[in-house]
């Protein structure tokens, strides 16, 4: 094929002969490149044009782009008008306009729908109705079964620790990274690394649990219910702080004077009081007379 100028040739090469970003190999089409990257380098097929993230499915990539980069909110709540980037988050939010009328008689957890309560009860009954047709393993939820079935179909999952993809991500993490996880989590407190990102507002967190609680502020969910007064909370920390009012727990103690406090903020305030600072200053002088 002939081209009128260098620019035309360059554009043709980029479009028709994509190059592997890892090893530099050239291919005759995008599908062949994706197959090569997946088989040889373990890279997921759909890449984000804005950041290094890659995805198993095109729809997942598109949702990520809307939520993290373009800020599109195409799904709107018909009750309050609030907008979201994907339908699943909208559905979760919409439930917050209604009461959790279905309560578990074992643990007191509330649900918006009877089917959700029925599914939850299986946890207490240790019933696993969703069985893998390949190996017979049972699961309490269909989503867990689908995740397990990837180990049989050959579809790969991306490891957030090392960036590689695997057919059985759980086994890989246990065998290769289990000893690293506590250290990595602690290390983040020093490095400031926040690998868990909210797909709605882009805010980042050090721990997966903190991201989970943060997402509740978008959806309006309040999954933490006090068994003593039925008050609900969207943050685990707020729930634990509230619970100490009922239990009388004072888990935060001053190392210098032994006083105990219900909240960390109370302890911090105590450490800054004049009486406390004066006591610390006097201690070396008292010891000198011994």
Q: Does residue 78 register a pLDDT over 60?
A: yes
Q: Give the CA-trace dihedral at 240, 90, 169, 130, to 10 degrees.
A: 90
Q: pLDDT of 11-65, one tens digit each? A: 666 666 778 877 878 887 777 877 777 777 767 778 888 877 777 778 778 877 8
Which pLDDT does position 288 carry in this prediction?
47
Length of the chain: 290
pLDDT for the residue 87: 74
Mean pLDDT on 88-92: 75
Cα R_g (the chain), whole angstroms: 27
Mean pLDDT of the 182-205 span: 68
- Global pTM exceeds 0.95: no
Structure tokens, 238: 């707020």
Burial of 43 (0-12, 13-18, 19+ CB in 10 A): buried
Mean pLDDT, the chain, as a whole number?
Answer: 74
> Could you give the CA distance from residue 279 to residue 258 in angstroms, rounded to a whole number?
12
User: Which is nearest to 90 in space by CA: 99, 81, 103, 98?
Assistant: 81
Between CA 201 and CA 148 the distance in angstroms is: 30
What's the pLDDT tens digit per position in 196-225? Answer: 777 777 778 877 777 888 887 777 777 777
pLDDT of residue 284: 54
Find the distance separating the first CA and the last CA of the chain, reported in whole Å: 96
Place of tokens 């727990």: 249
Token reading at 186: 């602690």
Residue 120, pLDDT score: 79
% pLDDT > 90, the chain? 0
Q: What is the mean pLDDT of residues 250-274?
A: 78
| Cβ 94 vs Cβ 84: under 8 Å | no
> What is the percent of the chain where pLDDT is above 70?
76
Task: Kindly compute the dihedral angle of the four CA atoms of residues 263, 268, 270, 273, in this order, to the nearest 10 degrees.
Answer: -160
Mean pLDDT of 146-155: 72
What are 102-139's pLDDT values in tens digits?
Answer: 888 877 778 777 877 887 787 777 777 788 888 888 88
SS3 246: helix
- 190 alpha-carbon distance from chain centroid: 20
Tell me the pLDDT band of 10, cut-offs 50, 70 and 90.
low
Residue 242 is encoded by which pair of tokens? 């509230």
What angle is formed at CA 227 by the lines to CA 224 and CA 230, rounded to 5 degrees?
75
Instruction: Report residue 81's pLDDT band, with 50, 70 and 90 as the boundaries.
Output: confident
Which residue in this structure is represented by tokens 């643990």?
107
State the pLDDT at residue 290: 46
DSSP state of 67: I
Least reliable range by pLDDT among 173-177, 223-227, 256-260: 173-177
């Amino acid at each position: 094929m002939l081209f009128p100028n260098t620019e035309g040739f360059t554009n043709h090469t980029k479009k028709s002969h994509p190059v592997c970003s890892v090893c530099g190999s050239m291919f005759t089409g995008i599908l062949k490149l994706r197959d090569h990257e997946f088989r040889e380098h373990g890279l997921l097929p759909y890449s984000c044009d804005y950041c290094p993230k890659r995805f198993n499915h095109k729809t997942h990539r598109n949702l990520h782009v809307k939520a993290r980069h373009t800020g599109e909110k195409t799904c709107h709540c018909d009750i309050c008008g609030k907008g979201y980037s994907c339908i699943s988050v909208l559905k979760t939010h919409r439930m917050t306009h209604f009461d959790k009328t279905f309560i578990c008689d074992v643990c007191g957890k509330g649900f918006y729908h009877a089917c959700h309560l029925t599914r939850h009860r299986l946890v207490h009954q240790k019933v696993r109705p969703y069985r893998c047709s390949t190996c017979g393993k049972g699961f309490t939820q269909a989503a867990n079964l689908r995740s397990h079935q990837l180990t049989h179909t050959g579809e790969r999952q991306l490891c957030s620790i090392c960036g590689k993809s695997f057919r059985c991500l759980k086994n890989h993490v246990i065998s290769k990274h289990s000893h690293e996880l506590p250290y990595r989590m602690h290390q983040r407190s020093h490095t400031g690394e926040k690998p868990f990102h909210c797909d709605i507002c882009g805010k980042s967190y050090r721990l997966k649990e903190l991201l989970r609680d943060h997402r509740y502020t978008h959806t309006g969910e309040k999954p933490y219910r006090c068994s003593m007064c039925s008050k609900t909370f969207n943050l685990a920390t707020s729930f634990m702080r509230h619970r100490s009012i009922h239990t009388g727990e004072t888990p935060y103690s001053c190392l210098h004077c032994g006083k105990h406090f219900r909240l960390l903020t109370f302890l911090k305030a105590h450490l800054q009081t004049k009486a406390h600072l004066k006591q610390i200053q006097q201690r070396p002088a008292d010891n000198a007379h011994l």
